[in-house]
Homo-oligomer: A and B are copies of this chain.
Amino acid sequence: MNSNPSPRTDTREKIIEAAASLIPEVGWGGVSSRRVAERAGVNTGVIHYHVGSIDELRRIAAVRKIRTFFLDRIGDALTRTDPAAAVEAMLRVLSAGGPRDPELLLLYESLVAASRDDQLRAEIAASLAELRQWLCDWFAERGVARPLPVAVTLTAAIDGFLLQRMLDPDLDPGPLIEGLVTLVEHQLA
């Protein structure tokens, strides 16, 4: 979000955003150079100049959106100082999306694509590891006795809950929040 982007950066951003918005709409395999060029308002040749292949573009767009999805939403929750309140806030904001939330659809499309693309798989795994470590450090600083099991359980439960909510949009986050808050509270001195 550079406030004074160069024209080069600006075009590259438009291309990445166009690809990211297309993934949930037309599916991973449906994101073609032609469609991205149409949506971004550029020629297809410009795409290859800025981001290389269409495979590379899909990877860049997907990894960026997945990072933003988690880091933005979780970062907000971590402005609270009480670990149990932060966990509750995190679950509330992550479960606010509707059943056809484009960011969630992008996440699922990317996961399936990752099962056939080792580079994408490794990049998503690295983002997840970073998120897990960030939460672990955060819990450690706030006096949680066993921060690693808490951070790992929390990230697994969040991912699983997001997946289950896509299947069942009415799924109540209440019991999960209670379970995770209890886990954290038992670890506070």
Contacts and interface: CB of A to CB of B under 8 A. Distances in A.
Interface stretch (A8-16, A73-81, A161-169): A161-169
A121 B167 contact: yes
A170 to B, nearest CB: 9
Contact of A159 (B105, B109, B163): B163
Contacts of A46: none
A129 interface: yes
A152 B157 CA distance: 9
A143 B73 CA distance: 36
The dominant DSSP class at the A interface is helix
A178 interface: yes
A182 B146 contact: yes
Interface of A: 100, 105, 108-109, 111-112, 114-115, 121, 124-125, 128-129, 146, 148-153, 155-161, 163-164, 166-168, 175-176, 178-180, 182-183, 186-187
Given A121-B166, A149-B179, A163-B163, 10 more contacts: A108-B108, A108-B115, A125-B167, A150-B179, A153-B180, A156-B161, A156-B164, A158-B160, A159-B160, A160-B160
List the 10 closest A-B pairs by CB distance, nearest first.
A153-B179, A160-B160, A159-B160, A149-B179, A156-B160, A125-B168, A152-B175, A125-B167, A149-B178, A156-B157
